[in-house]
A and B are shown apart, each in its own frame.
Chain A
C-alpha cells in the first residue's frame, strides 16, 4: 500500500523548493522561438494568485508530472502573447475541437488555440467579467458558458487578437454558432466552414453509402466525407492567405504526425488510467491531459513531453500498485465536461474515481489515418465527432467506453443554456439505463463561484451512496 495522497495548491507551493532544478529547467516551451525555451513550472497556488481562484479549492496529484501538466495548461496564455509579440501567427480554432489544428500546425511559426476552452475561465477565475462582457454584446445567460469566448475576444486578456478565426458551423450547437457570429461581428477575420451532420444508418436513408471510420469505428455517409474534405481544403486556403505560406502535403503530413503523437499518447494514458482498478492518476489531471489532444495546448513539442512524463509516472505507479485514490474507489463514467472542476474533486472525496469520460472531444483521441491524403483523413476524423451525430451515436460511445472501463455509474453534467444538453441528458440516460442497467445521474451545473452548488453536492452524495449500496449488494 502506498502513501500517495492528493494535495492542495498550498501544499504544492510548499513543495516547490524541493523540485529538482534539472526538472525545472526541462520544463520550457517555445524552444523553436527562444534558445532553451521559456520556463513555466509554477505551483497551482501561484496560478491561483494570478487569478484562477478555483485552484485553491481543488486537490491535485502529488507527482512532478502532474505539476508540469497544470503549469503547462495554465501558461498557455503566456505563450500565446509571447509568440504573437515575436511575430508568429495566432489562429483561433472554434467548435470542431480537434481536426483544425492538424491543418493549422502545418503553418510555420504559428500557434493555434481553441476559443471554446475559454468557457472554463469564469469558473476557474471565480469571477464573471468575461460573461459580463459577452452579455453587453448580446450573449447572456440564455447561452452556455462558452459565451465567455466572446468576452475574451473583447477583453483580450486571455489571448492576443487572433490573425484568423476558423469557425466550424452547421452540425454544431446553437450557442457557439451564435457566439462565433458575434465574434466575427467584432471585426475578426473569420473563415467559416461547414461541419456535416453524421446520419444514422436508419431505414429511410437507403441510398447513401455508409462507411466506418478507421479508428473510431463510427458509421457515416460517404457523401459527408467528400463534402467535409472540400470544406477543409477551404480552411487550408485561408491559412495560406493569412500566413503567406504555401501549405504542401508534406507540411500537412508532418503536422498530422506530430498531432498523432499527442493523440496516441492521450489515448494510451486513458487506457492505462481508466482501465486500472485503482486509477493511478486523479480525474482532474486526466481531464487536463485529455484536452491537450484537441490543440496541443498551443505547443506541440512540450505537449509530448508533458504526456510522456505522465505516462511514465502512471506506468511506474501501476507497477508499484500505487494510486492517489482509495483502495476500491467507486467507478464513475463522466459525460460532458463539468463546468465546475471542483465536482471531480468532490467525486473523489466521496470515494469515487473517474472510470472513463466523454467530454465531447473523444474524436480527438483517435489518430488521424496515415493511409489517405491528410485532408481526407482529417475529414474522416470529423466523422468521429460526437457533436455532429445523433444522441444515439453519442450514447453508443458512452456505453462502449463505460463497459470498457467497468463503470458502475454514469454522471452527465449538463451545461446551462447549451442547446444539446436537454436532448443529450434524457436521450443518453435512456440508452445507458437500457443497455447497461447502471445508475445515471444528470444535472446542469450552475455558475456558483467560490463554492459547489449545494443541490449538486447533495445529489452527488446520494448517487455515490446508491453505487456503494449496489456494490455491497
Chain B
C-alpha cells in the first residue's frame, strides 16, 4: 500500500473513532450523499456532517434488495441495505440530509424515511440551473434549518459554520491542486477525497500537504479524465487498474474535483444559510442538470487543460442520467471515450480489465 493511502486510512480510522466518541458524548451526526450539500450548514448547528460513500459491496446491495427491487441503482440499494443492517458509519447517523437529486435517490430517500424510520429532511436539488432554481434550493435549506432548530432545539452559529467552511476550503484547495498536478496516483487521490468526505476539516489541509510532501511523486505516461457516477470508497478497482497501467486520472466527478470546486461565496452575515446553499448549488453541474451543456463544456475544457488522452465515463448500473449520454460523449470529444456501467460486485474487476485493454489500444 502506498504511503499516502496508508496515512489516509490511518487518519480515517482515527476520525471514525472520534466520531463514535463524539456521538457517545451526545453530538448528533448528519449524513448526506450529494456534493451540493454544504457540510458547514451542519457544522453551524454543531452537528457532525459525514458524506457517506462507503460500505458498498455486493452484500450491501443484497441487503438493499430486501427493501427495494434488484433493478435499483447499486448506490441507493447499498444505502438502504447498510442502514437497515446497521453497518459501519451508516449506523452512526442521527439525521439525514435527504437531497433529492435523481428519481432513484428521491425514492430511495423516501424508503429511508418511510420504510426504515430514519429522520430524513427532504431537499429538492433542482435540475435546472436558473436563478429561480437556486433561490428555491436556498429556501429549502432555510426550511431544513428551521426544522433542525424546532426538532432538536439547536441554534445555528455563524462562527462555527464559517470555521468549518474556512478549513474545508483550505483542504479543498490542496485536493484540487493535487488532482490537477498529475503527481498523485489515482488510488491515492481517491483515498484523499474519501477522507475529505468523512473527516473533520480542521488541519486536514496540512495533513494532505504533509502526506504529499513525504511521498514519491506518481509519474504517469498518460492521463485520462474520469467522469460519471459517484465513486464509493470501496469502488476503486478501476482506479487501481489504471494505476497499474501507469495512467493518471483527473477525477471530474462528484467524488472528485466537482466536490471541491465551489461556486462564488457571497457571505451574507444576515443569512449565512442561504449563502452556503447558493455556493454549494453553484458547484460544477451534475449530468442530471438541464440542460447539461455546462458539463460538456467543463469536460472539454479539462481535457484541453490537462492534455488528457482519453475520457472514461464510469456509470453505475441503472443510472439513466449518465449511461444515456454515452453516444453524445463519444460524439462530443475528439479522443478515445470508454463508457461502462458497473455495480459493487467483486467480479466486476475482470470486466473492467477487458474493457481497459481495448481502451488502452485506442489510447
Contact = CB atoms under 8 A, between A and B. Distances in A.
On whether the two chains bind one another, the answer is yes
Interface of A: 136-140, 142-143, 167, 169-175, 177-182, 184-185, 190, 192-194, 196-197, 199-200, 202-208, 223, 227, 230-231, 234, 390-392, 419-420, 422-423, 425-427
A175 B73 CA distance: 13
25 contacts: A138-B323, A138-B326, A139-B324, A169-B127, A171-B100, A172-B103, A175-B320, A177-B288, A178-B320, A179-B324, A181-B324, A184-B291, A185-B328, A194-B127, A194-B132, A194-B133, A194-B136, A204-B119, A204-B151, A205-B143, A206-B147, A391-B114, A419-B320, A422-B71, A423-B111
B69 A138 contact: no
B146 interface: yes
Interface of A is mostly: mixed
A205 B320 contact: no
Contacts of B321: 174, 177-178
Interface residues of B, number: 50
Interface in B285-302: 288, 290-292
Contacts of A140: 324
Interface string B128-155: 1010110010011001001100110000
Per CB-CB distance, the 9 closest pairs between chain A and chain B, nearest first, are A138-B327, A422-B69, A207-B146, A178-B324, A174-B320, A423-B107, A419-B103, A169-B127, A178-B320
A196 B106 CA distance: 12
A180 B291 CA distance: 9
A169 B128 contact: yes
A181 B290 contact: yes
A73 to B, nearest CB: 29
Interface string B292-327: 100000000000000000000000001111011111
Contacts of B58: none
B330 to A, nearest CB: 9
Given A177-B290, A181-B325, 14 more contacts: A138-B327, A167-B290, A174-B103, A178-B321, A181-B291, A192-B290, A204-B119, A205-B143, A205-B147, A206-B151, A227-B132, A391-B114, A422-B69, A426-B67
Interface in B84-141: 100, 102-104, 106-108, 110-111, 113-114, 119-122, 124, 126-128, 130, 132-133, 136, 139-140
A13 to B, nearest CB: 41
B103 A177 contact: yes
A392 B324 contact: no
Given A204-B119, A227-B136, A419-B103, A190 B324 contact: no
B356 interface: no
A206 B150 contact: yes
Contacts of A197: 100, 106, 122, 124
Contacts of B103: 172-174, 177, 419-420
Nearest to A390: B110
B296 to A, nearest CB: 9
B68 interface: yes
A169 to B, nearest CB: 4
B114 A390 contact: yes
Contacts of A173: 103
B173 interface: no
Contacts of B111: 423, 427
Contacts of B325: 138, 178, 181
A204 B30 CA distance: 14
A423 B151 contact: no
Contacts of A136: 327
B72 interface: yes
Contact of A207 (B68, B114, B150, B319): B150
Contact of B323 (A142, A194, A427): A142
Contact of A204 (B120, B320, B324): B120
A391 B107 contact: yes
